[in-house]
Amino acid sequence: MNAISRIATGVARGLLLERQAEFWLGQVAPTRSLAQLRARVEEVVDETADVKTFRLRPNGRWSGHQAGQFTTVELEIDGVRTRRCYSISSAPGRLPAITVKRKPGGVVSGWMHAHLRRGDVIGLGLAAGDFVLPAVLPQKLLFLTGGSGITPAMSMLLDLGRRAPAADIVLVHHARSADDVIFRGALAALAARAGGPRVVLCSDDGSSGLGPFDEARLALLVPDFARRESWVCGPPGLMERVQSMWEAAGIAGSLRQERFTLAPPRAVTGGKTTRIRLAHAGRSFVAGPGTLLEQLEQAGAKPVSGCRMGICRTCKVRKVSGAVEDLRTGAVSGAADEDVQPCISVARSDLELSL
């Protein structure tokens, strides 16, 4: 069967019948495709007031995921294909699920909450990312999460429940309030199992018992934190404080991080205006605040983008000249003819881009 379909595909390609084949496959079943990874929305679950989980059934091109990895979803919003990366919250071996928080003013998350329904078909990317569990599992693990940063940790906790039932696991999760805790029921069920993880919930308003993140309290709650392999995922403030705490303890090597959102770019010092020139379009504009990607979008250059946090490299463009700062590292690069990722770059001089 496989050989027949391979031969048929080869003939279709050779005789320029590929588009017809793709069209009729899509008519048979909307997720069928010769080349594209697509998924049908199987189920939409309301997790909290502003968080939904979308359980997806991908076509045969999906190759599974490891706990903690992300996938790229491609949605058509007012005619334009738009991509975003989301951590997979389901266990490996199960249907991939993404858990999406509706961001205020978020075009994509807002659209998904308002329009994406069971039965809809979306584009999908293969699972990727190295925020995962090691092949040889440690005996003592600590997960520090904030907000929707729980999503990759949830996948890992589910995976650990099957692969390492005897492991000593602590999850310290931070939310705005008790009502904003994503997967509250599932976490309680995991914690209630014999040998399940210890789940500690903290919230900004104290409604879940404990207040917002605090280094001293964390050290009291998890006194052996320095002897644990740790994973942190959450808002930039939490990530920075945890990183500093781990560095101060001299154990930065045991901390794995997954960034969901970038810290906002620092203002250019000196207030000098920078101009961005688009070589192919033959026009230029003055750069305002924000990332290079945001600048290009505001200028109507319609760049392709994906994760918007420097992971997927979808937005990569060739910089002909000028200097950009990498927002993740603060490194400034002025090399000519190099590829840069606009989503995590800000202009630090006049730029010329191959766009």
Question: Residues interacting with another protein, by CB under 8 A?
Answer: 11, 14-17, 19-20, 22-24, 36, 76, 78-82, 302, 304
Residue type present at position 96: P
Cβ at position 24, least distance to another protein in Å: 7
Tokens representing 287 are: 């750069």
* Pairing, β 229-234 against β 97-101: unpaired
Residue 200 or 315 having the CB closest to another protein: 315
Cβ at position 188, least distance to another protein in Å: 42
Based on its alpha-carbon atoms, the radius of gyration of the chain, rounded to whole angstroms, reads 22
Cβ at position 224, least distance to another protein in Å: 49
Find out whether 263 and 327 touch, Cβ atoms under 8 Å.
Answer: yes
Cβ at position 272, least distance to another protein in Å: 30
Residue 37 or 347 having the CB closest to another protein: 37
Cβ at position 33, least distance to another protein in Å: 10
**Which residues are CB-contacts of 80 (< 8 A; sequence separation ≥ 6)?**
none
Cβ at position 344, least distance to another protein in Å: 20
Among 37, 65, 62, residue whose Cα is nearest residue 133: 65
**Which residues are CB-contacts of 84 (< 8 A; sequence separation ≥ 6)?**
72, 73, 75, 108, 109, 306, 307, 308
Residue 76 or 215 having the CB closest to another protein: 76
* Pairing, β 324-326 against β 332-333: antiparallel
Residue 16 or 166 having the CB closest to another protein: 16
Residue 8 or 286 having the CB closest to another protein: 8
- Rounded CA-CA distance 243/249 in Å is 10
Cβ at position 124, least distance to another protein in Å: 14
Find out whether 235 and 260 touch, Cβ atoms under 8 Å.
Answer: yes
Residue 30 or 235 having the CB closest to another protein: 30
* Pairing, β 140-146 against β 229-234: parallel
- Rounded CA-CA distance 159/153 in Å is 10
End-to-end CA distance of the chain: 44
Q: What angle do CA 45, 63, 233 make, to 5 degrees?
A: 55
Cβ at position 19, least distance to another protein in Å: 7
Cβ at position 16, least distance to another protein in Å: 6
Residue 76 or 130 having the CB closest to another protein: 76
Residue 16 or 136 having the CB closest to another protein: 16
SS3 at position 148: helix
Residue type present at position 173: H
Q: What is the DSSP letter of 266?
A: P
Element (H, E) at 319: strand 317-321
Residue 9 or 36 having the CB closest to another protein: 36
Q: What is the DSSP letter of 287?
A: E
